[in-house]
Chains A and B, each alone.
Chain A
Amino acid sequence: MESLRIPASKSTPEVAFDPASGVLAMRGESYPENSFAFFRPIITWLAEYLEKTESLVIFNVNLSYLNTGSTKSMIDILDLLEHAHKGGKKVEINWFYDVENDRALSNAEEFKDEVTLPFKIHAQTSP
Chain B
Amino acid sequence: MTNLDLFEIKKSFQRDGTLICFAGPFSHSIIEELGNAVRRYLETEQVGKASMMDVFSIFIEQTQNVRNYAASKAAAGDANPEYNQGIVVIGKSDSHYQVSAGNLVETGDIGKCVALLDRLRSMDKAALKALYKERLRAEPIPGRGPGLGLIDMARKSAIPLEYLLRRIDDRYSFFSVRATV
Contacts and interface: CB of A to CB of B under 8 A. Distances in A.
Contact of B139 (A67, A72, A126): A72
B56 A65 contact: yes
B136 interface: yes
Interface string A1-35: 00000000011000000000000000000010111
B32 A10 contact: yes
Interface residues of A, number: 26
Counting chain B residues whose Cβ lies within 8 A of the other chain, the interface size class is: 20 to 34
A65 B53 contact: yes
Given A65-B56, A67-B61, A67-B64, A73 B142 contact: yes
Interface stretch (A52-60, A85-93, A99-107): A99-107
Interface in B104-143: 133, 136-137, 139, 141-143
Contact of A68 (B28, B61, B141): B61
A63 to B, nearest CB: 12
Given A69-B142, A75-B136, A75-B137, A101 B49 contact: yes
Contact of B148 (A31, A39, A72): A72
Identify whether the interface residues of B are mostly helix, strand, loop, or mixed.
helix
A100 B49 contact: yes
Contacts of A65: 53, 56-57
Contacts of A126: 49
A101 B137 contact: no
A101 B144 CA distance: 28
A26 B100 CA distance: 31
Interface in B52-92: 53-54, 56-57, 60-61, 64, 67
A101 B49 CA distance: 5
B67 A33 contact: yes
A71 interface: yes
Given A31-B35, A36-B144, A102-B50, 11 more contacts: A10-B32, A10-B36, A36-B142, A67-B61, A68-B143, A71-B148, A72-B139, A72-B142, A73-B142, A103-B54, A110-B133
Question: What 3 pairs across the A-B complex have the smallest Cβ distances?
Answer: A69-B143, A72-B142, A68-B148
Interface of B: 28, 32, 35-36, 48-50, 53-54, 56-57, 60-61, 64, 67, 133, 136-137, 139, 141-144, 148-149, 152
16 contacts: A10-B32, A31-B35, A35-B142, A36-B142, A36-B143, A39-B142, A65-B56, A65-B57, A68-B61, A68-B142, A71-B136, A75-B137, A100-B49, A102-B48, A103-B54, A104-B50
